[in-house]
Amino acid sequence: MTTTDLSENPPKYVEAALPVPLRRVFTYRVPAEISGSIQIGARLKLPFGRRSMTGYAVELHTELPADVEVDESKIRDVIELSDDEPLITPEILKLTQWTADYYASFWGEMLKASLPAGINSEKVRPRRRKSVRLIAGADANEGKALTETQLEILEILSGNGGEMLFTELLEQPGITPSPLNTLAKRGFVEVFVKEVDRDPLRNAIIPAKDDFTLTEEQSAALASIDEAVSTSQFRSFLLHGVTGSGKTEVYIRAMKHTLETGRSALMLVPEIALTPVFSRRLRAVFGSEVAILHSNLSQGERFDEWRRIRRGDARIAIGTRSAVFAPLENLGLVIVDEEHDPSYRQHESPFYNARDVAVMRAHMIGAVAVLGSATPAMESFYNAQTGKYEYLKLPERIGGRGLATAELVDMRDVFKRFGKDVPLSPELLDAIVETHKRGEQVIILLNRRGFSQFVLCRSCGETMKCKNCDITLTFHRGDNRLLCHYCNYRESVPKVCPKCESEYLYFVGEGTENIAATLAKRFPDMRIARVDRDTMSTKGEIDEVLLKFAAGGLDMLVGTQMIAKGHDFPNVTLVGVISVDIGLGLPDLRSAERTFQLITQVAGRAGRGKKAGRVLIQTYYPDHYALRFAKDQNYAGFYAEEIKYRQRLNYPPFFVLASILIKHRDRQQAAKMANLLRRSLDAANPAKNVRVLGPAPASIARLKNEYRLQIILKGINRRALRETIDIALADAEHHGCDLKTIFVEIDPVNLM
């Protein structure tokens, strides 16, 4: 791709990707001082308009490439080369380029997202510490006799492998800087500055390694994965194992095997599942070979862990979403645990789904991908059904423990009994009392926060739905109307329920945050903690509560999804699920799937020890199939029902979705841009391989002073969808549409 052989001629031009929402790279001139050291993958400080910003070298040229249309005199110089050793490996360069294209996103933004946060700022730097080391050969008996303290220092140093941090040495009783300095002057020791990695687990108590004999099912699953890793070819597996079936053990052994074959391994975990317990366990098994990348680390820790991977010191990386871009070389295995989890989806630009990028990464380099879940995403199970993924199953819990039984508490009935809204049913309150009496623990799961409002009939559970879309209408308080966010259908709020004529219509969407306070008042003798993103923001806070709960220092945890997954608390025998099915009323095609997954996952938290577990689910929808199948933990039944719905409404996995958001400060302009784009989408798609819905107001119709409209696309396949979008964007721009107002999201997780 380079114009001439770079090994003989130093590059004169560089093409750089910049973290800006533009689908192109930019050409700069390489000043002579850096042309000998610039490499593809290095960061560059570049002029951009009146500013300077950090870009990434993606191609080098000895001559101006023919396809660059800029006047040579207008090409500007690179200001500075930021890295002598490129931070970005060729593999990550290719992977980010593919990802940007797949998600109609921007390469430069994707490259920036692939690096640890804050790396471009001056604040994140390697940590340097003053250290002391013994100088070999130095003979303590030589020259003038040493003092006792001086001799002691030499002894301590040699007892510590000949080298220590200055501060560590000074912590020893009786040691002061003065004798140390004398030793240094006389050439016995050397004081120097050393880079010290910040270790996220530095103060953690690491558990002993456990050594199980795998069950037959675990062995069979592991054998398939190991065999695939040995062939060094791309293969992909769906590991479908019920909660507590020992998937984690399979991952750990598969990673071990991969290391033994001389290759590296990557494991992705959802935001919340990277429990303190799990990281410690991995450290016990892999020692310093494992690096940890997740959002609760400090920037410095993340930077150091990332550099350990880049240097090849850590050959196993565990992390959340952005760890999919961890610069591991010679990758043999990529694991995505809880692959259905929505936190793999990046919710702001650049959009991507780390699960799908992980599979692509494995595909590009001939590695093995393993997606694991107790409740696989519809798309993943469909891929297993159609043979795209090899299917592995762990159908039983370890130790023959049964899955917790789940009971539905019909809240319509509770409402009738009390004649008013009570958030906690007598059934659940009684169960809490009994559990506590036995000295066992309780988890209460609340709904997630921050959803839009919709109308629910308290008597029959009916929600008001769109006539065209089979999607719940959203209540807009401003004009007192119900609105469909897909097709723009609207109607006024009914006075009585259209189904049962009850007057008890209720606007759902508020008021779960008080549950923890209510519980605390009701059970003053119980030690209760609330865990969610609102109450806990600082690093370590969540860890602390979870560890305390695991150690029996708390009787009850109240929280959102965060506490639903991944944790292993043997003394929890009651899980109460409160209003979690509110999701079922949301205008979201995945609400049934989400609800099913969430309840199954949380039910998996109960009864993991020797005692049996009980799960109580409060619901207004006891007849909904998501609830019925979740109650019985029947994945196959749920899948069979849900896939029919997806097929009927042209949803994934049968169709590929995109959502296009149009944002503008001026209402008319927003509408104008949206209509221009709609026209171009229709023109770009004469064969109607892509169905276009909207524009309609987005569920948040105005945000930060901007009006927001939404267009939904349903494509018969990915290529048709991407082509239509590309052609339409170019056409719309040609007709005066400002592309800066347009935000494309491929495979949106929520259509809201």
Binding site for Zn ion (CB under 5 A): 457, 459-460, 462, 466, 468-469, 484, 486-487, 489, 497, 499-500, 502
In whole angstroms, the minimum distance from the beta carbon of 157 to ligand ADP comes to 41
Q: Give the nearer residue to Zn ion in terms of CB position, either 466 or 564.
A: 466
Which of 27, 54, 150, 243 forms a contact with ligand ADP (CB under 6 A)? Answer: 243
Cα 333 to the chain's mean position, in Å? 19
In DSSP terms, which residues pair with 386 in a beta bridge? none
For residue 613, give both structure tokens: 């577990």
Q: Give the nearer residue to ligand ADP in terms of CB position, either 35 or 245.
A: 245
Pattern 641-680, binding to ligand ADP, x per CB under 6 A? Answer: ----------------------------------------
Query: From the list ligand ADP, Zn ion, none, which binds 243 (C-beta under 5 to 8 Å, kind-based)?
Result: ligand ADP
The rounded distance, in Å, linking the Cα atoms of 287 and 304 is 16
Pattern 389-428, binding to ligand ADP, x per CB under 6 A? Answer: ---------x------------------------------
Cα 373 to the chain's mean position, in Å? 15
Query: From the list Zn ion, ligand ADP, none, which binds 460 (C-beta under 5 to 8 Å, kind-based)?
Result: Zn ion
* DSSP string for 639-694: HHHHHHHHHHTT-TTTSEEEEEEEEESSHHHHHHHHHHHHHHHHHT-TT--EEEEE
163-165, strands of its sheet edge to edge: 163-165, 128-134, 189-195
**71 Cβ contact partners less than 8 Å away, ≥ 6 residues apart:** none
In whole angstroms, the minimum distance from the beta carbon of 245 to ligand ADP comes to 4
Q: Which amino acid is at 543?
A: D
Helix, strand or coil, per DSSP, at residue 215: coil
In whole angstroms, the minimum distance from the beta carbon of 599 to Zn ion comes to 24
In whole angstroms, the minimum distance from the beta carbon of 750 to Zn ion comes to 16
Interacting span for ligand ADP (CB under 6 A) from 14-22, 33-41, 44-52, 243-251: 243-251
Query: From the list Zn ion, ligand ADP, none, which binds 244 (C-beta under 5 to 8 Å, kind-based)?
Result: ligand ADP
Query: From the list Zn ion, ligand ADP, none, which binds 212 (C-beta under 5 to 8 Å, kind-based)?
Result: ligand ADP
Q: Give the nearer residue to Zn ion in terms of CB position, either 406 or 469.
A: 469
In angstroms, the first-to-last Cα distance of the chain is 42
Query: From the list Zn ion, ligand ADP, none, which binds 457 (C-beta under 5 to 8 Å, kind-based)?
Result: Zn ion
Which of 235, 247, 257, 310 forms a contact with ligand ADP (CB under 6 A)? Answer: 247
619 interacts with ligand ADP by CB under 6 A = no
Q: Give the nearer residue to ligand ADP in terms of CB position, either 244 or 300.
A: 244
Pattern 511-550, binding to ligand ADP, x per CB under 6 A? Answer: ----------------------------------------
Tell me how far apart the 2 most distant CA atoms of the chain are, in Å: 103
Q: How many CB atoms lie within 10 A of CB 675?
A: 15
DSSP 8-class letter at 599? H
Helix, strand or coil, per DSSP, at residue 8: coil
Q: How many CB atoms lie within 10 A of CB 490?
A: 15
In whole angstroms, the minimum distance from the beta carbon of 278 to ligand ADP comes to 9
Which of 155, 192, 193, 212 forms a contact with ligand ADP (CB under 6 A)? Answer: 212
Q: Give the nearer residue to ligand ADP in terms of CB position, either 243 or 353.
A: 243
217 interacts with ligand ADP by CB under 6 A = no
The rounded distance, in Å, linking the Cα atoms of 643 and 651 is 9
For 54, 110, 228, 254, the CA distances from 20, given in Å and listed in that order, are 11, 10, 40, 39
**Rg value, the chain, Cα:** 29
**321 Cβ contact partners less than 8 Å away, ≥ 6 residues apart:** 268, 271, 343, 344, 345, 346, 354
Helix, strand or coil, per DSSP, at residue 115: coil
214 interacts with ligand ADP by CB under 6 A = yes
Which of 131, 215, 447, 619 forms a contact with ligand ADP (CB under 6 A)? Answer: 215
Contact 674, 695 (CB under 8 A): yes
Please work out, in degrees rounded to the nearest 5, the angle formed at the alpha carbon of residue 274 by the alpha carbons of 222 and 619. Answer: 95
Q: Give the nearer residue to Zn ion in terms of CB position, either 281 or 465.
A: 465
Give the binding site for ligand ADP (CB under 6 A): 212-215, 218, 241, 243-249, 398, 568
